[in-house]
Every structure is written in structure tokens, then in C-alpha cells.
Structure 1
Amino acid sequence: MTEVTAVDVLLDGFGRVHESVARVLDGLTAAQLTHRVGGTANPIAWLVWHLTRVQDDHVAEVAGTEQVWTADGWAKRFDLPLPVDDTGYGHGGDQVAAVTAPADLLLDYHRAVHERTEDYVRGLRAADLSRIVDESWDPPVTLAVRLLSVIEDDLQHVGQAAFVRGVLPRSRPDREDPDS
């Protein structure tokens, strides 16, 4: 029997996030991706973009690399009316509504971030996980805690997206608008 390491657990967690993102996006229309439950809740497109931006930002920071968002041209592909370093943190309603993208673009960006994350995590040793990456907290945040926090935040957001998907009004095949 092979011993399971902390790196294995992190890889499994990030893998579960990626699988969940793919499931939640599967087959959605533009109207479904931007539907806001109750008229104000965060839509699936924003939730997936945000969770991916945060993962990209946080993993790039601890890895000491440029974010996939800018390094690989995703910011240009999305062409959002937001600052290039925006991750969605603190967004108001208008900013949330500005995040629109087709499911395939959202999934492709998430896949690129997931691959970069896996490459980084696979290269870690157990001793690396104790490295302090943020001293502004008490206790200071280790690399292990930061990566677990990203997984937890991602799972919260993809769970919210799955909820929104589950309550989407059933659209008629001849109509794009789920509110119709």
C-alpha cells in the first residue's frame, strides 16, 4: 500500500475543485451563466471566474511566478472592463454583472490555472508546507494553510455555482433567457 502524503491530499483537493467546475459549467448557455437568483445573487460566470482568479493569484504569489491570467493572455481573451489585477474580491453588483464569458472560456482558464497549480504542488516536499507565507495573521500562515484555504474557498464558490445551476429556471429550447 502506498503512503498518502500531504502533497497527495492537496492534489486531490485541487482535482476535486477542477472536476466540480467542469460539471457546473457543462452545457450552460450565456443566459444561464449570467442568471442572478433573486436578481442580485452572484451568477455562475462570476463565481467560476472569481474562484479561478483567486486560485491563480494565491498560487502565483506563493510560487513566486506571474499569474496565468496575465502570463498566458487570459486577461486579453476575457476582455473584461476591470483592472487586470482584479480577482473579484469586494465586487459590487455592477462589477459582478460585468463578468461575462462563455462556459468554454471559463473552463479553459480554470484548466490552465489547475495545471499550473498541479505543477507547483507536485514539486513541493513535506518540509515546504511549513514555510510561512503570510505574517500578517496570528498565527502566521504556512504554505499548507494557504493552499488549504484556496481549496476551501474554491469549494465554497463552486458549491454556490452548483446551487445556482440547480435553481435555474428551465428554459424552453426556443428561448435563450432562463427568466422567460
Structure 2
Amino acid sequence: MKATEVLADGYGRIREVVHEVVEGLSAEELNARTDAAANSITWLVWHLTRVQDDHVADASGLEQVWHAQDWVTRFALPLPADATGFGQTPRQAGSVRVDSGELLLGYFDAVHEQSLGFLRGLSAADLNRVVDERWDPPVTLGVRLVSVLADDLQHAGQAAFVRGALERRQRAGGQAER
């Protein structure tokens, strides 16, 4: 198996978890927070998607799907157009809300397809190309793609945890905080 095929498989696993977490939930459940400072499923999935979109687009020279396909308008968030979630306050994170999981999954799937298209066109040698010289040592494409993969899987796992916590709370008759 080629290194690029391993990466594509890893990115596919992100997609599996994201779909498992989001599908079947109401807007209220997606936007719920387990406490006032916690991240919602909406924020976690939006953030992991924005990070993948931003980082893979930068590394590939492609335009971010967020802008190219006008997801920024579809989400209509009260945040700067280039926001990815880094450094957001709990209040800002709480402002990331959706009316349905279809919006989240639509954006995620569009980013996933662009990322896979890029990955499929890579050779093993491409992974050694330096994409960010602000670090010591400079970051290669391979390291950047693994970094996005690891970050996205962590956030997808966090979203799965939140879903489980909300489901347990609902079974116990409690309500999530909004």
C-alpha cells in the first residue's frame, strides 16, 4: 500500500466517524452543549472541517471549499469569513449553530472530496515537499497531512463523546444546556 493510500484511508475514517455522529440528530442536539463552556457537536464538526479545508487547500494551492462553494454564506455565522475555530472563546464557539445536520455534512463531504482528489494525485516524493517554513524543522506536506488527520480524528472522537453524553442525559430525562 502506498503512503498516499494510507492517508486517503485515514481521511476516510474521519468521514465515517463524522457521519456516524451527525446523522439522525436534530438541530437542537447538534447545537447542544454539555455545559456553557463546552463545544457542541456542530462546533466540533465545523471546526475539524474548517481546519482540513484551510490546511489542505493551503498545501495544495487550491481554493478553500468554504469560499469556492460559498459555504461561508450558507452557514451565515457571526464570525470573520476566514474563521476556523482556533482561539475562539466559548461564546464565539457557541455562535456556531446549524438548522440541520445536512449543512454540516454537505460542507464536510465537499471538503472530503477535495482532500481525496488532492491525495489521489500525490506521489510518495510529494510528501517530502516543504509547505510551511515557519517551524523548525520546516513542515513537509506529509507531516501537515498527518497533523490534519490526527487533529480531525481527535475532534471527531470528541463529537462522538458529546453525542454519547447527550444520549445518556436524554435517557436519564435531563436536558442539555444551550
Fold shared, TM-score > 0.5 on shorter chain: yes
Give the match for residue 22 of structure 2: 25
Give the match for residue 85 of structure 1: 82
2:65 is aligned with 1:68: yes
Q: How many residues align?
A: 174
* Alpha-carbon shift at residue 135 of structure 1 (Å): 1.2
Give the match for residue 38 of structure 1: 35
In structure 2, what residue type is equivalent to 1:23? E
- Pick the aligned partner of 2:9 from 6, 9, 12: 12
TM-score (norm 1): 0.92
Q: Determine if contact 1:171/1:178 at 8 Å carries over to the other structure.
A: no
- Pick the aligned partner of 2:103 from 105, 119, 141: 105
The one-character-per-residue Cα deviations of 1:25-61 (angstroms, maximum 9, x if unpaired) are 0111111111111332111000000000000000000
TM-score (norm 2): 0.93
- Distance in 2, matches of 1:178 and 1:145, equals 38
In structure 2, what residue type is equivalent to 1:170? Q
- Pick the aligned partner of 1:161 from 136, 141, 159: 159
Give the match for residue 119 of structure 2: 121
Q: Determine if contact 1:10/1:121 at 8 Å carries over to the other structure.
A: yes
- Distance in 2, matches of 1:31 and 1:171, equals 16
- Distance in 2, matches of 1:106 and 1:23, equals 13
- Distance in 2, matches of 1:82 and 1:171, equals 34
The within-5 A match list for 1:123-162 is: 123-162=121-160
2:167 is aligned with 1:170: no
* Alpha-carbon shift at residue 138 of structure 1 (Å): 1.5
The one-character-per-residue Cα deviations of 1:78-101 (angstroms, maximum 9, x if unpaired) are 111111111011000111111001
- Distance in 2, matches of 1:32 and 1:150, equals 26
Instruction: Give aligned-pair identity as a percent.
Output: 56
Q: Determine if contact 2:129/2:140 at 8 Å carries over to the other structure.
A: yes
For structure 2, which runs of at least 5 residues remain unmatched after alignment? none
In structure 2, what residue type is equivalent to 1:18? R
- Distance in 2, matches of 1:152 and 1:59, equals 13
**Structure 1 counterpart SS, 2:170:** coil
